[in-house]
Structure 1
């Protein structure tokens, strides 16, 4: 519960810029590519930061790292809310350090993983993954707070919640009694993680599954506003619906992985993404076809994300889970960095988002074929 709460609070902070993307675009007169870059910067920093944070969690544990990451995220939240929203340069600087909140994922996975036996880790990590619903909190509250109060309100509230959680985690959070005590250097643990085949296999799959979720949670308001001329509030609410469904599907993916096998769950869910993305590439009417396509993708991407870490928990030595999680989590975040830039570039040059969604369908198709092949080997060895 504490790890999931910490994940949610930090992801709430990590996603603060996304609902305000259209507002910043209008006020600062940003191009499509500039807006996409603004939304993507926190994603790439939060992703790459997971690599050292995961290795540090192996060594120091979540009791130290969760309060530390939460407290550090307060600084960029206050900077953006109070000073950093007047120019693109200031927003990019604030967004860069806002990425710290995204590293909380690499803290929580090894913490939760160590508390559960292998047969229960898929569901446990899936439940922890519900914390990614922090992005939905941001989507549902940020724009209404700005309209009701002012632009600083959501940032001040988020900073206060982060501070409260940092204190709560420092007082109450405990690491599992049997957690291995790691004394080797961060560099050596990262090198060891990179030598494991599962690190690369899971990274590729997570880059697509969670990367797709991150990309849509960041860029969907802009997409819906541009492609379907929705209002800023309506687009943000629909993005929140996408996020909530993906969040609820993540424990389902973990639960199914405990009972079937993670690679079988991945093969099925990624095949669903192929179909839904291909349909949406033609920009059908939003009601009902577009809505069904996006909600189907949300469910499939959420379940696939849960299945990836069920696979990691199944085959990774427990003393390396943090380091592997950092690398795989980074790949997932980086998977969410490129699509918004591509979508912005495609629309800027072609006035059409279709090629970006078609590329998602092709990528998911390749991943489905890989998972189908990989499942035979993984089932035999796990």
Structure 2
């Protein structure tokens, strides 16, 4: 149920990316405006993950998931009923979709708290494979927009969301291994306490690159394919869906690999590969036979990295997993917002998205350097206390 809830929530969260080529043309948005609109749900989801992290610990993951899903369904139906005819309306929809993006802080603790340290990578990877919901948005949103109009897609998306909500209410169950409930003041203090630990900032950076790169590309690729290669929105949706599907499916593989060889080794390989691929993308000619394999490979690397990060987080912060899921998810959302918006700005200023890819490649190298700086300390301190577990 954690996977299913996360999957449909991600589908809804990423609706604006596949629809961007259509509504941008209709509303006459420039590349920077289009990139900003596409990035807003990611930013809103990042902030709301902090809220959902508190609620998941306070009232339980199931109740928090139900509340968020009801808000999303109601918001989409309201937007559809009113009709979206301006950029301001799109930004409002993006803020509502942020509640779907905040599902991250519900689904991962819902799954992770049922399992011990030796299976965190696999459990969190399977739940996190809900990233694949982005595939559904990329595949079906442009098709439905062509048949019924892009405004009506907002209402159509509530149908699977409502069905999953019913199943979630019926079948989801919180683990008995819940943290002690704390008042809001203590919870906020816990966030500040985590922010006082250097390791928390490292994890925010690490996930900001892996998940931020993944979701930023998932939101931006439909626009890239339509503007750089002149594909139709439907063709761009198919190409994006293929990249996102592979990146989503390898998330549990990344978690399992981290369980086997250690999250540090797995992440080091991910950052090195992602940096190289993004740099190559920034300089490569805009031809489908060149760019599609490159995007497929970088999404695969980033998807595996998502699983590897969340093999390490619950090992380091076992008793603060709710707070850390919110913080790390916040970092991932910020990374996605930065990438999606910067690609639009790069296109507006230079006529190419290449500089945006190149800067994100540099961020991957920063993450690699940071991981290299902390790995010895991690392995000799908290990692050494985990008998039989690879760090």
TM range (shorter): over 0.9
Distance 1:55 1:298 in 2: 30
Distance 1:43 1:354 in 2: 21
Deviation at 1:168, TM superposition (A): 2.2
CA contact (8 A) 2:208 2:333 kept: yes
Distance 1:275 1:206 in 2: 18
Report the TM-score, using the length of structure 1 for normalisation: 0.95
Task: Name the Cα RMSD after superposition.
Answer: 1.5
Aligned to 2:52: 53
Q: Give 1:11-22 correspondences, 5 Å limit.
A: 11-22=10-21
CA contact (8 A) 2:109 2:321 kept: yes
Aligned to 2:386: none
Deviation at 1:295, TM superposition (A): 1.0
Aligned to 2:222: 221
Q: Give 1:236-255 correspondences, 5 Å limit.
A: 236-255=237-256
Distance 2:61 2:18 in 1: 30
Aligned to 1:149: 148
**Which deviates more, 74-83 or 296-305?**
74-83
Unaligned 5+ segments in structure 1 are none
CA contact (8 A) 1:203 1:331 kept: yes
Aligned to 2:39: 40
Deviation at 1:280, TM superposition (A): 0.8
- Regions of 4+ moved over 4 Å: none
Q: Give 1:1-382 correspondences, 5 Å limit.
A: 2-185=1-184, 186-318=187-319, 320-381=320-381, 382=383
**Which deviates more, 275-284 or 261-270?**
275-284
Q: 1:22-71: CA deviations, max 9, x gaps?
A: 11111111111111111111111111100121122112111211111111
Change (3 A) 1:164 1:322: same
Deviation at 1:285, TM superposition (A): 4.6
Report the TM-score, using the length of structure 2 for normalisation: 0.93
SS at match of 1:94: helix
Q: 1:230-259: CA deviations, max 9, x gaps?
A: 221111111111110110111111001111
CA contact (8 A) 1:55 1:189 kept: no
CA contact (8 A) 2:20 2:223 kept: yes
Deviation at 1:160, TM superposition (A): 2.3
Q: 1:280-303: CA deviations, max 9, x gaps?
A: 111325343212211110111001
CA contact (8 A) 1:62 1:173 kept: no
Unaligned 5+ segments in structure 2 are 384-391
Distance 1:94 1:152 in 2: 11
CA contact (8 A) 1:82 1:152 kept: no
SS at match of 1:180: coil
Deviation at 1:132, TM superposition (A): 1.1
CA contact (8 A) 1:110 1:325 kept: yes
Q: 1:80-124: CA deviations, max 9, x gaps?
A: 333242111111112111211100000111111110000101111
How many residues of Structure 1 are paired with residues of Structure 2 in the alignment? Answer: 380
Deviation at 1:166, TM superposition (A): 2.3
CA contact (8 A) 2:55 2:61 kept: no
